[in-house]
């Protein structure tokens, strides 16, 4: 019965919850419970989206934001994971960087916006930089923790069967053993990066965030909600794609 519940009942319940939310919302507006202009009616979202789609602005905003998202995610994840793996595996590097990490770690990605604008300008590179920083730390700590958690006996096994030395350990133990942790970090980063996309674009770099700012300055709340839902959709798509890949890579975990 547990299987039936998880396969059929849960999505059904989820859909019911959504219907209740949007239905209640629509009713609240029609009944005049919400002051005019504070919230768009759900029924106005469809037309607003169609207008945006026809003008080409919707597709353009998604294209711009995806560019920032993917390049920031790629740069931040790869550098974070690699540096995290190395710090976890090389005590000397770990020691050397421990002070630097302690200083830089608490600084949120958004705090780098002034420098992003100064160094790169209000463009793709600037947005990418902010997103990359926010993703970097998630992946750094995920990788670092994953390496620290490896059963040290496995290094002995690897060495006994001819895989001693730095590269042998890295190939036969460190990378495969930390894969689950790395992928968990990557997944957290997938969500975090979408948040940073909006933040990075709110300052004027074209994309979903910039479009939301424009809409809100025109009091087009329906358009703001359309883009909020667009982000939710994009996140769902990237997360689903990621989980498909993850299942293939980590079949051994069952």
The residue count for binding another protein (CB under 8 A) is 21
Residue 172 binding another protein, by CB under 8 A: yes
**Of 154 and 184, CB closest to another protein:** 154
Strands, E assignment, the chain? none
Give me the least distance between CB of 159 and another protein, in Å please. Answer: 6
**Of 172 and 238, CB closest to another protein:** 172
- Binding part of the chain for another protein, among 18-26, 116-124, 174-182, 231-239 by CB under 8 A, reads 174-182
Q: How far apart are CA 250 and CA 254, in angstroms?
A: 8
Taking the chain, what is the end-to-end CA distance rounded to the nearest angstrom? 20
8-state DSSP, 39: S
Residue 96 CA, distance from chain mean position: 29
The answer to whether 185 touches 139, Cβ cutoff 8 Å, is: yes
Strands, E assignment, 137-201? none
For helices 124-148 and 175-201, angle between their N-to-C axes, nearest 10 degrees: 150
- Binding part of the chain for another protein, among 44-52, 114-122, 155-163, 223-231 by CB under 8 A, reads 155-163
Give me the least distance between CB of 163 and another protein, in Å please. Answer: 7
Site string for another protein, 176-215 (x = CB under 8 A): xx-x------------------------------------
Residue 156 binding another protein, by CB under 8 A: yes
Q: Please list, residue by residue across 230-245, b when 16 or more beta carbons sit within 10 angstroms of its beta carbon and e when fewer do.
A: bbeebbeebeeeeeee
Residue among 149, 151, 233, 236 that touches another protein (CB under 8 A): 151
Give the interface with another protein as residue ranges (CB under 8 A): 151, 153-154, 156-163, 172-173, 176-177, 179, 250-254
């Amino acid at each position: 019965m547990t299987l039936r519940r998880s396969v059929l009942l849960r999505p059904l319940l989820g859909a019911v919850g959504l219907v209740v939310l949007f239905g209640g919302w629509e009713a609240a507006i029609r009944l005049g419970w919400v002051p005019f202009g504070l919230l768009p009616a759900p029924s106005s979202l469809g037309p607003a989206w169609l207008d945006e789609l026809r003008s080409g602005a919707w597709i353009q905003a998604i294209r711009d934001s995806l560019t920032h998202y993917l390049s920031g995610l790629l740069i931040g994840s790869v550098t974070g994971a690699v540096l995290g793996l190395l710090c976890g595996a090389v005590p000397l590097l770990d020691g050397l960087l421990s002070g630097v990490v302690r200083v830089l770690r608490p600084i949120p990605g958004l705090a780098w916006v002034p420098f992003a604008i100064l160094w790169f300008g209000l463009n793709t590179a600037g947005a990418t930089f902010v997103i990359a920083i926010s993703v970097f730390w998630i992946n750094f700590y995920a990788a670092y923790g994953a390496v620290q958690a490896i059963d040290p006996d496995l290094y002995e096994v690897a060495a006994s069967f001819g895989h001693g030395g730095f590269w042998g350990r890295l190939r036969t133990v460190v990378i495969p053993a930390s894969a689950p942790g790395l992928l968990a970090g990557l997944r957290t980063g997938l969500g975090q990066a979408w948040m940073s996309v909006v933040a990075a674009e709110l300052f004027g770099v074209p994309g979903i965030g910039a479009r939301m700012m424009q809409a809100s300055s025109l009091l087009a709340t329906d358009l703001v909600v359309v883009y909020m839902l667009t982000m939710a959709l994009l996140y769902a798509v990237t997360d689903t794609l990621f989980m498909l890949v993850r299942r293939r890579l980590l079949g051994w975990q069952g």
